[in-house]
Amino acid sequence: MFQVGKRYEIRMIIGGEETMSWGTIERYEHPLLKFADVNVRSLESHFPNTTLHGEIINVTSPYFISAVLHQPMIPKMAD
């Protein structure tokens, strides 16, 4: 169902609100979906670079709404 290495838009209910996030799939073993870690480089010298650890989502949870494969936009060539 999910393709490892592909980017998805995920919609879930968190705190009673519908939320949307993006992530690249690192691993999928039904029903668990693991997003890849993200390295964040600080633009300010006084803030350290950090790693945000990828979330693990249960796709059978009643709070899981949808996952849509990200389709990168391909620029049209001028004639």
Please check whether residue 41 lies inside any domain of the structure: yes
pLDDT of residue 44: 77
Please check whether residue 21 lies inside any domain of the structure: yes
Q: How many domains does the chain have?
A: 1
What single DSSP character describes residue 70? Answer: -
Q: What pLDDT digit, counting tens, does each position of 6-31 carry? A: 999 999 999 999 999 889 999 999 99
Please check whether residue 79 lies inside any domain of the structure: no
Integer Rg of the chain from CA: 16
Please check whether residue 43 lies inside any domain of the structure: yes
User: Which structural domain, as residue segments, surrounds residue 27?
Assistant: 7-69
Q: What pLDDT digit, counting tens, does each position of 34-68 carry? A: 999 988 887 777 778 888 889 999 999 999 999 99
Please check whether residue 77 lies inside any domain of the structure: no
Please check whether residue 57 lies inside any domain of the structure: yes
Largest CA distance in the chain: 50
Please check whether residue 64 lies inside any domain of the structure: yes
